[in-house]
Amino acid sequence: MGGQKIVLGVTGSVAVYKSCELLRGLIKNGASCTVIMTEAAQRFVTPLTFQALGADQVITSDCNQAGTAIPHIDATRDATLLLIAPATANILAKAAQGIADDVLSAAILAARCPVAFAPAMNTYMWHNNATQRNIAQLIQDGAIFFGPANGEQACGDVGSGRMLEPSEILEMMQGALTPRLLDRCRVLITAGPTYEPIDPVRGITNLSSGKQGFAIAKAAVLAGAEVTLIAGPTTLKTPAGVRRIDVVTALDMYNAVMAEVSQHEVFISVAAVADWRVDAPSTHKIKKEFTGAPTLSFVENPDILASVAALENAPYCVGFAAETDNLIDNARAKVFRKNVPLIVANLVKDAMNQDTNAVVFVERDAATPLTRASKDAVAQALIAKIAQEVN
């Protein structure tokens, strides 16, 4: 959310405490925030709370002391999004009717940026015909809705009307604000390590966490792609909107990719696929008392990326190279050996099991280094690069 200017409208609901956390999350993600509070909101928390949490300014009434600024117009002048969270039934009704009787409802009416609502109200108020009519009107007028969630309410009732959790709203905001660079493009991604068994309790794997591949899957979905993620063993959570297929061995991954690839236009091979597997793993646990140290013999696994790139109707292929030395030379050799247009090169120490990454986009005749950034930011840069190539 770096560089995004968010205006957070806060109305009077017990869910205001979630807005405080939401503001922190927005600022932590690089957004700058102006807060507009209604009178009722100020009975739950004070403007000072939002100020102390890092808001650029907190607007509470439609004229400042000098009487010069016009807060309801100025607040959203170059904003990316006006988000009302929590949004009561009352503010939805006012916004649907174009009523502008306080600074927040006036700012909604004057907004030139998209307007989003995260509703919070009693479930009977939510289901009331008047509220539902107002929501239908607002959606028709182009408003975005995040939630509400279902569950137990402050008043003891149970049902729809709870405000979403701040982390859920942040994720949905990212989706709403991300340009749809890969709209409806079908993207197949491999991620994580593979695991090659030696016997039923032992095996060979590697240090890949899967974080970079999962971040790419998330960024692709946010960019509008339909994503299939073939994941080796990892405990990472599936990003929202991603279709996930779990595999264990390199051969499983190869078979899953070959079954899926014809349905996809882009293939991003992020997985750290084991180059070799144990020839004839034991079906029984190898007992040291009987065998001593075993001698293992290996056979080579198929190269999934090279096999996909060699297909007659190959998708646009991207590979990764994790190296300890000669990063660019090794990555460029892969561009030619695997016959792919783009290899994302990273040093093992920069990438494996880290939350950040420092990568170089290596093509036949170019090498473009990116500054070290979060794996989410690297993923977004890669999606933008792929969109340039395939669109």
Complex with ligand C5P: residue 7 or 272, whichever CB lies closer: 272
Which member of 62, 102, 303, 376 binds ligand C5P (CB under 6 A)?
A: 303
- Residues annotated as catalytic are 155
Among 59, 137, 124, residue whose Cα is nearest residue 94: 137
- Minimum CB separation of residue 317 from ligand C5P in Å reads 9
Complex with ligand C5P: residue 20 or 216, whichever CB lies closer: 216
Q: What is the spatial distance between Cα 153 and Cα 160, in angstroms, rounded to a whole number?
A: 9
Placement of tokens 């182009």 in the chain: 142
Residues between 49 and 78 with contacts to ligand C5P, criterion CB under 6 A: none
- 317 three-class SS: strand
Contacts of residues 313-316 at CB distance under 8 Å and 24 or more positions apart, as own/partner, are 313/262, 314/267, 315/188, 315/261, 315/264, 315/265, 315/266, 315/267, 316/265, 316/266, 316/267, 316/341, 316/386, 316/389, 316/390
Q: Encoding tokens for residue 380? A: 């977004």
Give yes or no for residue 319 binding ligand C5P (CB under 6 A): yes
Complex with ligand C5P: residue 72 or 334, whichever CB lies closer: 334
Which member of 264, 334, 375, 385 binds ligand C5P (CB under 6 A)?
A: 334
- According to DSSP, the residues that pair with 267 across neighbouring strands are 188, 317
Residues between 271 and 300 with contacts to ligand C5P, criterion CB under 6 A: 271, 273, 275
- Minimum CB separation of residue 365 from ligand C5P in Å reads 20
Which member of 189, 216, 230, 321 binds ligand C5P (CB under 6 A)?
A: 321
Give yes or no for residue 19 binding ligand C5P (CB under 6 A): no
Placement of tokens 């999934």 in the chain: 304
Residues between 187 and 226 with contacts to ligand C5P, criterion CB under 6 A: 190
Complex with ligand C5P: residue 80 or 301, whichever CB lies closer: 301
Complex with ligand C5P: residue 15 or 304, whichever CB lies closer: 304
**Pairing label, strands 373-374, 356-357:** antiparallel
Q: Encoding tokens for residue 186? A: 């079908």
Contacts of residues 67-72 at CB distance under 8 Å and 24 or more positions apart, as own/partner, are 71/36, 71/103, 71/107, 72/100, 72/103, 72/104, 72/106, 72/107, 72/109, 72/110
Which member of 305, 358, 360, 383 binds ligand C5P (CB under 6 A)?
A: 305
Q: What is the spatial distance between Cα 223 and Cα 214, in angstroms, rounded to a whole number?
A: 14
Give yes or no for residue 250 binding ligand C5P (CB under 6 A): yes
Which member of 227, 242, 304, 351 binds ligand C5P (CB under 6 A)?
A: 304
Which member of 301, 346, 357, 380 binds ligand C5P (CB under 6 A)?
A: 301
- Minimum CB separation of residue 224 from ligand C5P in Å reads 24
Within 10 angstroms of residue 355's Cβ, the number of other Cβ atoms is 11
State phi, psi for 149 to the nearest 5 degrees: -95, 165
Options 9-17, 103-111, 158-166, 269-277: segment touching ligand C5P (CB under 6 A)? 269-277
Complex with ligand C5P: residue 69 or 248, whichever CB lies closer: 248
Site of interaction with ligand C5P (CB under 6 A): 190, 250, 269, 271, 273, 275, 301, 303-305, 319-321, 334
